[in-house]
Amino acid sequence: MPTGEKFRILLGTEEGTHHPLLWFKGHKRDEIFWGPYGLGTPQSTLRAEWLERRSPLDSHKTQRYHVAGYTERNLRFDHFSSHCDGTFHLKCIGTDKPIYVHILRRTLPIGEKSDIFLECVTQTGLIEAYARSVAVRNHDRVIPVPRNRGIQLYFAVAGSGYPLRDEISRFLKPGAELGPAFDIGNFTLASMYSMKAPPAPSRYPPLAGTVVSLRFETTAKSYRNKMFIFQ
């Protein structure tokens, strides 16, 4: 896909409606902007975030967070971005000027020859929570979701010269399906997804919204893990 065009992942219902979940856009050949849509609006709100965790590169343990252990943010979200020098950040819209937070830096720049430099798990609420529907465009990809279900979507981003699609296919988990994959600038994104049942009753009811959990390699020894919820 040419740099500058927007690619969207949509949730498709049994009734034939389509609800935007994530968008991606090439800012330059070696830069990528992306983010979640709001539950009912084109622009989302960064509702809350959890404390960052670090893990060794050879660890494959799932990071678990207490459902009520978040910090309120309530900021208007603009985008996540990865830049050619290896810098990553989250941008929100402030009252007087932009707010840049969670600024990270890889030891190496990113480009066509990069291996995986960004991994994300996105967990939706139930499909009924996504009130805004849109028409499907050329670059959109649709994930069908049954009633009273959500999805867990894993995606990774690497340089276009890295065999990312093959790697995702090789590590496809039981019960998961291959998800959207596309090329944007000098990068490739590939994904897998699985269905998610309604949450069990809990004394700590979860916040409504889209959970975005990131794993980012900043050194040769460790990942930094971050989790947010958007509405």
Contact 4, 25 (CB under 8 A): yes
Instruction: List the helix and strand counts (H, then E) for the chain.
Output: 1, 16
CA–CA gap between residue 224 and residue 218 (Å, rounded): 7
Residues 102, 106, 111, 112: is their CA dihedral positive or negative? negative
**Residue 2 — pLDDT band, cuts 50, 70, 90?**
very low
**Residue 1 — pLDDT band, cuts 50, 70, 90?**
very low
Mean pLDDT of 127-149: 95
**Which tens digit of pLDDT belongs to each residue from 76-109?**
999 999 999 989 999 999 888 889 999 888 878 8
Whether pLDDT at 111 is above 50: yes
CA–CA gap between residue 84 and residue 201 (Å, rounded): 44
pLDDT at position 108 = 83
pLDDT at position 60 = 59
Whether pLDDT at 157 is above 80: yes
Q: List the domain boundaries for the chain.
A: 6-48+72-230
Whether pLDDT at 65 is above 60: no
The mean-pLDDT minimum among 49-58, 99-108, 115-124, 210-219 falls in 49-58
pLDDT at position 181 = 95
Query: Taking Cα atoms as reference points, which of 95, 17, 78, 18 lies closest to residue 43?
Result: 78
pLDDT at position 53 = 82
pLDDT at position 83 = 93
Q: Quick one: which H or E segment has residue 214?
A: strand 210-217
Mean pLDDT of 198-220: 78
pLDDT at position 62 = 61
Mean pLDDT of 161-166: 95
Mean pLDDT of 21-45: 93
Mean pLDDT of 4-13: 90
- Reported pTM: 0.91
| Chain position carrying tokens 């007087």 | 96
Mean pLDDT of 27-34: 87
Mean pLDDT of 197-208: 72
Token representation of residue 193: 């997804």
Q: Quick one: which H or E segment has residue 167?
A: helix 164-170
Residues 57, 61, 67, 69: is their CA dihedral positive or negative? negative
Whether pLDDT at 143 is above 50: yes
CA–CA gap between residue 166 and residue 70 (Å, rounded): 36
**Cβ contacts of 163 within 8 Å, gap of 6 or more:** none
